[in-house]
Structure 1
């Protein structure tokens, strides 16, 4: 007796072991657990399904250990239907590991240093961003140079960075909505 032939060739079937499936599910659960400490605003940028969003918010309120473990498993189950890439991007950004975020910060730092070294860069910045308060910008540059010369704390230096940061927004991560200004004081 001949064995029946299947419609699909064997090449189209991907065999995954039970162990591998468990590893993937555990990884998704761990990724979901990393979302629990985030605030609502950060979670909203991810465009998560409503059930998952609500489950994460509920997990924040649970204090009993057994209930916390069950809620984390539930979040892991809901994570199976979500693309993990935007979540990883956001978590990396928040951890300061994102290449895009680092490149943006370095760009701002180079611009700030350029403004301190060359007045033409200040003029170019004013031309590119006409809404900037010119007097405030020039005052911050003068004060930052004076701080450097007198080896004083870099208050104006940091203020100049914050001002530049207001006019050069961080590029949005793919799959995420643009988020508002973050509370970071990078130099």
Structure 2
């Protein structure tokens, strides 16, 4: 009985300790910050989009930014900015001269790269998209996005299933040994 309790305690410790150790790599002090990417993701031609990253780049070093599109007649453009002392950058990109289409922004500093897409719409298309996005009867989504994508749920369920299988296996092995 003591061995079963010991095994169960070890399994419980593993369930609690392993995710904590894995999540430590995601903390602010263990790695780079994050890029908030581009906001808004789609704009009417002539509006600006903002690209920002916090605590991501090497401080006081140049970050090269390339904006490219597969649209006909669009040539790639390159600009650069210098990360501040905290490794943050924020760049505003004017879309006045850009035709409608999807654009890819790629920021590079040494071997570190971040890439994001944004869409430039004709002004009439942008107005129609904004109107339908706020109108539920037009298929738009009137509810706010909470940010939860639900991707952790299968991992938690799988982990609990594995812990249960391990505990059951331990009990079965102990009973066979005692019999």
Shorter-chain TM range is under 0.3
Task: Tell me the TM-score normalised to structure 2 length.
Answer: 0.22
Which has the larger share of helix?
Answer: 1
Which has the larger share of strand?
Answer: 2
